[in-house]
Amino acid sequence: MASGSEDGLGIPSKDYDSLIATTDVELLKRAWQNEKAAPEILQFQADLIRRSQEQIQLMEDTVEEYAENGTDPLTVSLYQMDLDRTQFLLRSYLRIRLQKIEKYMLHISKTELWNRLSKQEQKFAKRSTDHMEKHLKQSVLSRLPYGYQSILKQSISSEDDDMGTISSFCANHFFLMCYCLFLSFLIY
């Protein structure tokens, strides 16, 4: 990605275009929108992320250079703003994926969704699952009677993993049930 011939005062617009508005930013924006809208985790765009990080790094160096050699501060701050927006896209994309991984930990690790994660995400997911299991075992399961200590089965007499994915321990659902019970108790 050539930085073109800058004359120190203005940057030719076609160099600006080739520097900033490469299709990778559009691709990143599209990937971010998809990830935000989809309820399940999508395929990790490893190449896109790697290229975006490299380009962001390059842009950061370029902006620093311009700031130092006294280019028009408005231009510098425009570059800076564009850089910020791209960085936000990148960070938000990774954050959204992390949130989905945290929410559907067990489900992802047991189905083919696992292959949609990057290597680092897989490491994170494994660690997260281990910590969560350890925490649940320590607080609840180890204190329950024998035969009810499984994280995935309600009891050892269950045939399938009927505790559901951990995401189904949604308190709202139980609150509804408990509230109805509570109401019915009040009525009588």
Partner 1 sequence: MYGRRACQLVKELSDRDAGQLTAFNRDLFDQVIKECSAHHLELQSLMRIIQEGGLDIQTTRNADHFGAAIHHLALIRNKRCLMAYVYNRTGTIQSLRWKVGPVLPQEIQEKLNYSEEEYFKNYSAALESYMSELELDLTVDMVPPKDPYIQVRVLDDIGDVLLSDQSPNLARHSMHFLKRTDAEQFISQGLMEELTG
Which residues of the shown chain bind partner 1 in the complex (CB under 8 A)? 53, 67, 77, 80-81, 84-85, 87-88, 90-92, 94-95, 98, 102, 120-121, 123-124, 127-128, 131-132, 134-136, 138-140, 143-145, 147-148, 154-155, 163, 166, 169-172, 174-175, 178-179, 181-182, 185
Considering the complex, state which of residue 11 and residue 105 has its C-beta at the smaller distance from partner 1.
105
Smallest gap from Cβ 172 to partner 1, in A, equals: 7
Task: Give dist(CA 185, CA 188) in Å, integer.
Answer: 5
Considering the complex, state which of residue 48 and residue 132 has its C-beta at the smaller distance from partner 1.
132
Listed in sequence order, the DSSP H helices in the chain are 13-19, 23-37, 46-68, 73-103, 105-110, 119-139, 171-187
Q: Identify the three-state secondary structure at position 103.
A: helix
| Assigned token pair, 182 | 């509570």
Query: Beta-carbon neighbour count of residue 98 at 10 Å?
Result: 15
Smallest gap from Cβ 53 to partner 1, in A, equals: 8
Contact 90, 28 (CB under 8 A): yes
Smallest gap from Cβ 94 to partner 1, in A, equals: 6
Considering the complex, state which of residue 40 and residue 84 has its C-beta at the smaller distance from partner 1.
84
Smallest gap from Cβ 23 to partner 1, in A, equals: 21
DSSP 45: -
